Structure 1
Amino acid sequence: MEAPRIPLVFIHGLWVHGSSWAPWMEVFEGAGYAPVAPGWPGDAPTVEGTRAAPDALAGKGFDDIVEHYKTIITGLDTLPILVGHSFGGTVAEKLLGMNLGAAAVAIDAAQIKGVLPVPIAALRSAFPGLRNPANLHKAVSLTAEQFRYGFGNALTEQESDELHERWSIPGPAKPLFEASVMNFVPHSPLKVDTGNERRGPLLLIMGGQDHTVPEAITKATLKQYRHSAAVTDIEEFPDRGHSLTIDHGWPDVAAVALKWLKGQGF
């Protein structure tokens, strides 16, 4: 009798549609998992549908996104593995700290409360959302040029523009505003229980050329977990940018995540 497959939830980040996980889902399904890639609250099932209805995303904050995935997880028979990118990686960290994941892989995850480095490149990447206070309650899209800086800086211009055309969607700016003030807000939604001794193992993956989440942020995130004996590992792709989950090199990143999960017994 075939053993039950371990559920796995992919969580996309800001400005990229959840369907971009499709190649990963194929790989992980072939490796014996039962993957799903639900969008954020307000996302339409397709890139085109999400672009056509940006107001459905407007005003969604980090807690809204976490609660959305919490509802999905509580509907599963067993705790899933969580794999997230960018803000999706931060959601995965938050849920893991709440003991709502068996393990988590956080790829170029956005800052959590307590992480202090905010490199200029990260500020510039977030600027399309933060530049106007009125964006707090709006959904914002990236131009091809903005996408190239924040996501595709380690790619050719052609590949970056192709990825922008294929996967980019409007995203709520509210999580960016929440992240910008998180270290001044006692009960910030981006506070993660990094001291949890009972949580599952966590792998942080970083791109050394990432503008949106520079490696200094991921290294500082790792330090936040130093008081927990739970497994926290880190892997770096020195020549990769923020697009590392969707560009031509995604199989290498998926392979590292898969090997690590198997090494943890999943």
Structure 2
Amino acid sequence: MRPALIFVHGMWSSPGVWDGWIRRCEARGYACVALALPGHGEKFADSALAGIGLRDCATAVERVALNYDHPVLIGHSLGGLLTQQASARLALSAAILVNSAVPAPIFPLRPVMLPGFARHFVKWGLWRKSFRLSRREANHLLFNAMSSDQQDACYRHLTAESGRVAYEVGFGKLNWTGSNRVNRPAISCPILALSGVQDHIVPISASRRMAAWYGEAMDYREFAGHAHWMLSEQDWMMRADEVLDWLHQVVQCNSNASICTRHMPHLQPG
């Protein structure tokens, strides 16, 4: 029996960002659910995000995942980090990371991020508030591989974000609460990670550091034509199909565990 797919959105987002991927996955016969992180969605005022932290988000992901038998978690950006954390605590069939935020051992901040973040991080007390990206900031950080029409369409659906989450994700080991850590040795499921070389908010150098940190435990792939919004950039359907092809191998492996090793072989993109 195929596992359920649980989609986890990222910062400034809501479950609808996964609509295209979900349609493609459902066409392959998978049951899909896209969860909403605390305070995210059109029904919430921006102030609902004030004070929400990474642990609140992690709890929300695990609460949904516990309703399913060995599900697959698919996380974008912040959702990728939450997927890594859940993989260490839950019995999953697989974990799939798309433009994933990186865990604590890696310091994620790079100069390319400054045009999108500097204005916010200099504001005192941001960790107690919510904040929104301007159109210029969003185009630089998130949508830099898209046409202006696509940028406009995606920007209309962005939400506010918790300043506390931004700090907890953005400062690596300097996050003294440890809320951005991943218990890597506890992860037993296969992991696939997709990264965009043009990504400005999770720069490719940070993604490569994450891949090195996981080593053979992660099937890591990067794409020169993609930036951060691999969810709907040009050729996104190819990426979704590649994930589904990889997942097919995982499902086959799980159904015949006697001939499978702990981790999937690294399949090369077609």
Corresponding position of 1:38: 35
Which among 101, 106, 114 is matched to residue 97 of structure 2?
A: 106
- Distance (Å, rounded) in 2 between the aligned partners of 1:143 and 1:254: 29
Which among 208, 211, 236 is matched to residue 250 of structure 1?
A: 236
Superposition deviation, residue 193 in structure 1:
1.4
Shift of the 148–210 alpha-carbon distance from structure 1 to 2, 3 Å rule, reads same
- Distance (Å, rounded) in 1 between the aligned partners of 2:11 and 2:108: 20
Corresponding position of 2:174: 184
- Distance (Å, rounded) in 1 between the aligned partners of 2:92 and 2:213: 19
2:86 alignment partner AA: L
Corresponding position of 1:18: 15
Superposition deviation, residue 100 in structure 1:
4.1
- Distance (Å, rounded) in 1 between the aligned partners of 2:175 and 2:150: 39
Superposition deviation, residue 205 in structure 1:
0.7
Shift of the 188–129 alpha-carbon distance from structure 1 to 2, 3 Å rule, reads farther
| Contact 2:58/2:82 (8 A) holds in 1 | yes
Corresponding position of 2:264: none
* Secondary structure, aligned partner of 1:33: coil
Shift of the 14–189 alpha-carbon distance from structure 1 to 2, 3 Å rule, reads same
Matches within 5 A, 1:25-104: 25-44=22-41, 47=42, 49-50=43-44, 53-76=45-68, 78-104=69-95
Corresponding position of 1:202: 191
| Contact 2:75/2:96 (8 A) holds in 1 | yes
Superposition deviation, residue 79 in structure 1:
1.9
* Secondary structure, aligned partner of 1:243: coil
Superposition deviation, residue 185 in structure 1:
4.5
Matches within 5 A, 1:191-230: 191-196=181-186, 199-226=188-215
TM-score by length of 2: 0.86
1:222 alignment partner AA: A
> 99-108 or 121-130: which moved more?
121-130
2:231 alignment partner AA: T
Shift of the 135–100 alpha-carbon distance from structure 1 to 2, 3 Å rule, reads farther
Shift of the 71–175 alpha-carbon distance from structure 1 to 2, 3 Å rule, reads same
Shift of the 126–262 alpha-carbon distance from structure 1 to 2, 3 Å rule, reads farther
Alignment deviations for residues 142-169 of structure 1 (CA, whole Å, 9 cap, x no partner)? 111111001111222232122112x211
1:240 alignment partner AA: H
Superposition deviation, residue 99 in structure 1:
3.1
Matches within 5 A, 1:166-181: 167-181=157-171
Shift of the 248–128 alpha-carbon distance from structure 1 to 2, 3 Å rule, reads farther
Superposition deviation, residue 171 in structure 1:
1.2
1:169 alignment partner AA: T
RMSD: 1.9
Superposition deviation, residue 265 in structure 1:
2.5
- Distance (Å, rounded) in 1 between the aligned partners of 2:91 and 2:251: 18
Aligned pair count? 252
Shift of the 116–136 alpha-carbon distance from structure 1 to 2, 3 Å rule, reads closer
- Distance (Å, rounded) in 2 between the aligned partners of 1:183 and 1:8: 31
| Contact 1:137/1:173 (8 A) holds in 2 | yes
Q: Is 1:121 paired with 2:107?
A: no
Percent identity between matched residues is 24
TM-score by length of 1: 0.88
1:174 alignment partner AA: R
Superposition deviation, residue 182 in structure 1:
3.4
* Secondary structure, aligned partner of 1:83: strand
Instruction: Show structure 1 runs of 5+ residues with no match.
Output: none
